[in-house]
Amino acid sequence: MTPLRAGILAAVVTVILDQASKLWLLNGFDLAHRGVVRVTPFFDLVLAWNIGISFGWLQNDGQAAQIALMAVKVIAVVALAIWMARSHTLLATIALGLIIGGAIGNGIDRLAYGAVVDFALFHIDIGGNTYNWYVFNLADVAIVAGVAGLLYDSFLGVPAAKAP
C-alpha cells in the first residue's frame, strides 16, 4: 500500500468511527437523556455540545461565527490534503490522514448540529477535589494522535516530513 492510500484510509476510517460513535451515543444509547454515565472511577460519558474550537475556545453560536469556523476548517483540510499528497513517509501520511479525518468528523457535526458532539470525560479525585480534563470525542483523539505522529516523524523520522 502506498503512503497516500494509507493516509486516505486513515482519514476514512477516522470519519467512520467518529461518526458511528456519535450517532450511537446520541440515538442508540441516548446519552442526552441518561446524563453522566460513569464507566470507570476516572472516565465518564457525558454529552457536551462544543460550539467553539479546540478546548471550547471562541464559544460563539452565531451563524457568521459558525460559517467562519467552517471556512477555516475547509482551508485547513485542503492544505493538509496537499501536504499528505506530497508526503513520502508512511508515518507522516497516516498522521495527516488522522488529522484530516478528525477535522472532517467534527465538521460534519458542525454542519449537522451546529456544534461538535463531545462525550468522553477523564477526571481524577484528589483530596476531595475533582479535576476534569476537557470533554472530547474520537475525532479529537485522531487529531492529537496525528499531531503526535507528525512531531515524531519531523524530529526523529528519516527523512523528516516537510510541509509544502
| Size (the chain), residues | 164
Pairwise CA distance, residues 111 & 11, whole Å: 18
Residue 148, Cα to own-chain centre: how many angstroms? Answer: 13
Q: Which residues are catalytic?
A: 118, 140
**Distance, CA of 112 to CA of 110 (rounded, Å):** 6
* Nearest CA among 2, 19, 1, 7 for reference residue 139: 19
Q: What is the DSSP letter of 56?
A: G
Cβ burial of 109 (10 Å; 0-12, 13-18, 19+) is buried
